[in-house]
Structure 1
């Protein structure tokens, strides 16, 4: 695993490229590879070379940054840059690490890079299901969640509502099945087509209901009734 993120900058404005390059030069987590003013040339390069992080302008002639990124076969992490706020939802849909509004200040750039580097390390760990946290996209940004702070997960069709022990909630665009793949199977169990519980926060099971530490009760469906015996025997 590389110790730094290999970066490419794509923007039709030369001054914008130079600014980001100057920020990359003073960022120890980053290694500069190349930059492009032409989106088509950038797409050709990105499909032939290993890139970890892409700084990508959205508003470009010929093809937008959004469409360029969608066209890539092997998608690197992306931080979108633009002078307009109204593209944030598109960036969210494409699982962007962050969304930087021009003119980009270094402190904001650094925050986005730190987030990308932490996400990169998390995704490339050799150990499986040993992490104490996960990353999800919520409200146009990447959010790190400590597993011990999760109470239960609730499916809302294409979204998952993550209920936290402090009574807050995080909404993320992801099917429950995909979310389950992120979680250690010994710490989280599905009890219903709509619910996954943190085993540590289940305090009792009675009448096909799991009672949580907060007093909330969630139904246990026939499909997942084995959870009852598993919980009793833990």
Structure 2
């Protein structure tokens, strides 16, 4: 069960969140607050897993409030102003809801929180078979088996996915490699073959003339990565 609170200076908005949470069996909405000071006092004594936070509040914004809480928690921001969503998303929000939102849209955000909660609390000995990637103001759950290859584009990555459009995210190659190392094992690993490319080992179809063939595309093997590649695939 995911423990949650909601904070919004508008009582009707809190009533909507309360009613929606009552229809979701994996969220326990413990309290609602219209004042930031009362919510912060509560969190100091009773940590929760998830916050529903209105961004635009008079005394302290939801973003400022989230930065001030005494423990880590997932957050779903709610706002009537779309321009606030970008800043909220940069704080690693699970999702943001643009008011007025429907129950279906609320349930979608709640399911994302549930998936991420299970990911965070998975037994350490079990390697996850997916990664979470933030893009387009939402959290994507991407199966490792569906990744064709990862392409670096300056400060962005383009993750090519089987039978789906690519996901473009603001992330470095180093960061995505760290994420993949958390899931990597001896049979389904990933290898960096070029400063701009990471490929799944299981997807390599052929190796020829300093290139690898992945998903029908020739990807170069960079000089800086050739020695390590040769250790894995001596030719």
By how many angstroms is 1:76 displaced? 0.9
**Number of the residue aligned with 1:28:** 25
Q: Deviations over 1:21-57 (max 9, x none)?
A: 1221221101122222112332343344321111000
By how many angstroms is 1:81 displaced? 0.8
Higher alpha-carbon deviation: 217-226 or 179-188: 217-226
For the aligned residue pairs, the C-alpha RMSD in angstroms reads 2.2
CA distance in 2, matches of 1:95, 1:205: 38
**TM-score normalized by the length of structure 1:** 0.88
Which of these residues, 170, 174, 185, is aligned with residue 173 of structure 1? 170
Which of these residues, 141, 144, 147, is aligned with residue 144 of structure 2? 147
- Equivalenced residue count is 230
After TM superposition, the runs of 4+ consecutive aligned structure 1 residues lying more than 6 A away are none
**Number of the residue aligned with 2:179:** 182
Determine whether 1:192 maps to 2:194: yes
By how many angstroms is 1:72 displaced? 3.1
**Number of the residue aligned with 2:84:** 87
**Number of the residue aligned with 1:217:** 219
Higher alpha-carbon deviation: 183-192 or 13-22: 183-192
**Can you give the 5+ residue segments of structure 1 that lack an aligned partner in the other structure?**
none
CA distance in 2, matches of 1:224, 1:51: 48
Say whether the 8 Å CA contact 1:69–1:75 is kept in structure 2.
no
By how many angstroms is 1:106 displaced? 1.5
| SS of corresponding position for 2:5 | strand
**Number of the residue aligned with 1:97:** 94
Say whether the 8 Å CA contact 2:5–2:29 is kept in structure 1.
yes
Say whether the 8 Å CA contact 2:211–2:218 is kept in structure 1.
no
**TM-score normalized by the length of structure 2:** 0.88
**Number of the residue aligned with 1:107:** 104
